Amino acid sequence: MFTGIIEESGRVAAFTPNTTGARLRIDCAIVRQDLHTGDSISVNGVCLTAVDLAPGSFSADLAPETLQRSNLGSLTAGALVHLERSMPANGRYSGHLVQGHVDGTGELVALDLLGDENWWLTLRVPPELDRYIVHKGSICIDGISLTVASLQNDLLAVTIIPHTYSVTAMREWRPGRRLNLEVDVIAKYVEKMIGART
């Protein structure tokens, strides 16, 4: 379980495809300090299992489902990725309930400077996820816990504060980029419960 509060932007050291998936190696510092083999770690919002630990880096295996549903398959060496360790039981919940189970990807439409280092991020969401997104609700975008500021048709927008922009990989994002999306899991449970009663 995660909170969507990015601890560090790591850098992809290697992306190695194999027969049924791929292996990702990431250089990092902060999250590596107490990371152990088998620990869960969020990479761009995707819950992965840390393996092959080395000083200043770790690896993770990517299943075919992960490659299909997320943007991890398009990573190349040198790319920045958002990292977050799983939340300890005695930790403080600073973001929102994030499972690391990506529902799909959205397309970055624009990242516009509002002023005073604040940004307005607009992305196009797939129609099958739209029903789970509400104005002022929480959404996880590439592992970042954010609040929905605007919803118009298939366009979703969030405000990015200076701190978030400075500690994430957003400075490398360009229109057209695929961004991992995880909607609020509570909305999906509610839909299933209501559907079972009708």
pLDDT of residue 44: 98
Q: Which amino acid is at 116?
A: D
Catalytic site residue from 16, 20, 94, 147: 147
Catalytic site residue from 54, 63, 77, 110: 63
Catalytic site residue from 20, 37, 49, 150: 49
pLDDT of residue 93: 75
Phi, psi values for residue 71, rounded to 5°: -95, 5
Q: Is 101 marked active-site?
A: yes
Check whether 198 has a pLDDT greater than 70: no
Cα-Cα end-to-end distance for the chain: 32
Whole-model pTM? Answer: 0.93
Q: Is 40 marked active-site?
A: yes
Catalytic site residue from 22, 47, 60, 169: 47
Q: Is 47 marked active-site?
A: yes
pLDDT of residue 190: 84
- What is the dihedral angle through the alpha carbons of 101, 104, 108, 112, rounded to the nearest 10 degrees? -40
Residue 122 confidence class, pLDDT cut points 50, 70, 90: very high
Check whether 178 has a pLDDT greater than 70: yes
Q: Around Cβ 177, how many Cβ atoms within 10 Å?
A: 17
Q: What is the C-alpha separation between 122 and 102, in angstroms, rounded?
A: 19
Domains and CATH numbers, the chain: 8-85 (2.40.30.20), 104-197 (2.40.30.20)
Q: What percent of the chain has pLDDT over 90?
A: 83
Asked if residue 150 lies in contact with residue 156, where contact means CB atoms within 8 angstroms, the answer is yes
Q: What is the C-alpha separation between 108 and 175, in angstroms, rounded?
A: 5
Sign of CA dihedral 43, 49, 52, 54: positive
The residues with which 146 forms a beta bridge, in sequence order, are 139
